[in-house]
Amino acid sequence: MDAFRGLMGMSSEDLCGQLSKGRPTVRDLAPGQWLGVAQMLAPRVIDACEEMSEDAWADCAAAFSYVFSAAVESGDVDDQEVTTRRLYLTAALLQRVPPRSEIEILDADRAIDLFFAKVPVSDEFARRVSPEWRRLDIDTIRKLRRSKNLVKPALLISDSVGRSDIERRLATWREVLPFLP
List the Cα angle 29/76/133 in 5-degree steps: 170
Amino acid at 58: A
Distance CA 136, CA 73 (A): 33
CA 86, CA 150: separation in Å to the nearest integer? 10
Residue 108 and residue 143 in contact, taking contact as beta carbons nearer than 8 Å: no
Q: What is the pLDDT along the chain (181 residues), one digit of tens a residue?
A: 588 999 989 988 999 999 999 999 999 999 899 999 999 999 999 999 999 998 899 999 999 999 999 999 999 999 999 999 999 999 999 999 999 999 999 999 999 999 999 999 999 999 999 999 999 999 999 999 999 999 999 999 999 999 999 999 999 999 999 999 9
Backbone angles phi, psi at 76, to 5 degrees: -65, -40
pLDDT of residue 2: 85
Which one-letter DSSP state was computed for residue 96?
Answer: T
pLDDT of amino acid 1: 56
Structure letter (DSSP) for residue 181: -
Q: Which helix (H) or strand (E) holds 175?
A: helix 164-176
* H-state helical runs in 9-137: 12-20, 33-48, 54-73, 79-94, 108-118, 123-129
Kindly state the DSSP code that residue 180 receives in the 8-state scheme.
Answer: -
Does residue 99 have a cis bond before it (omega within 30 degrees)? no
CA distance linking residue 159 with residue 156, whole number of Å: 5
The CA dihedral of 91, 51, 47, 57, to the nearest 10 degrees, is: 50
pLDDT value at residue 54: 87
